[in-house]
Amino acid sequence: MSPFRKRHGKQSLVMITAELLSKYSLPEEQARSAIEVAIARTLTREMQISFSVKYDGKLEITAFHTHGKPAVIPAEAINKKLFRHVRYQVELELQKRQALFEAEQLKQLRGVNVTGQISRILIDGTLVVTLEIADLFRCLILSGECQVPFQPPRERGLYRIGQVLEFYVTKVVAIAAGHWSARVHIRLSRTARDLPARLLRERTGINGISCRRRIAGAFSDIVSTARIPKEAIVAVGKELGEHLNVFVEQAV
């Protein structure tokens, strides 16, 4: 059966492409490139001949046969089976590009503290956390993972689903999720040395606060250029389950 037969269904490849585009927030140039690459790659693999694809609201598909002139293939001529395969590959490519784009955008989260709610606890103890940063990234639903080595020893095994805690973002990467797709992976920590200092700076507005030493879940040695209100010290100590030793040093 030829893969190029007039389709009589209601949905065309152009309509499906426009529908898929509406699901993603990619820059126009990246979205267009994803569509062109996915369709050309799929047709080339299936037909064993070269194809080029141009998309600017409408599709222009050109086949390059070994012998003879290039031939323009109407998008509506792709048969039902190949149509479904092309649609699937276009969505995978858009998903991958979206993950890479989001990872690049979210790199600004590295090294900051975020509030998150535990949504799942995996069998190996890893916490899956829904991050409460909607004010910064309204169009994205973000989640991260806090693995056991990044959990204070005294907290391990005691976490509850629905519990809201403070985390430190250590890494934002796009990772493979299958052969062609990818997703954003946000790595979180409750043991990062800078977490107590960041929480204190956030609560007090004092910039000259740093953490000299920390044993997560036991104590932190905090250095500040100004007196830190006692209520902030108590609140952060309670959040982290550790004692904060605060030393006030004059700025040089």
Per-residue model confidence (pLDDT) at position 133: 63
Can you tell me the distance from the alpha carbon of 247 to that of 242, in angstroms, rounded to the nearest whole number?
Answer: 16
The whole-number pLDDT of residue 176 equals 57
Residue 87's pLDDT is 85
CA distance 215 to 212: 11
pLDDT at 32: 86
Tokens of 187: 């790595």
What is the predicted pLDDT for the residue at 100? 80
Looking at the chain, which runs of residues are DSSP E strands? 50-55, 59-64, 71-73, 113-121, 127-131, 143-146, 164-176, 182-189, 209-215, 219-224, 243-248
Integer Rg of the chain from CA = 26
pLDDT of residue 177: 55
Residue 138 pairs in a beta bridge with none
Identify the pLDDT of residue 194: 96
Residue 117 bridge partners (DSSP): 130, 164
pLDDT at position 139 is: 46
pLDDT for 205 equals 93
Mean pLDDT in runs of 10 for the chain (252 residues)?
Answer: 48 68 80 88 87 85 82 79 85 84 80 92 95 56 89 95 94 66 80 96 94 95 95 96 92 56
* pLDDT confidence of residue 117: 92
**What pLDDT is recorded for position 29?**
85
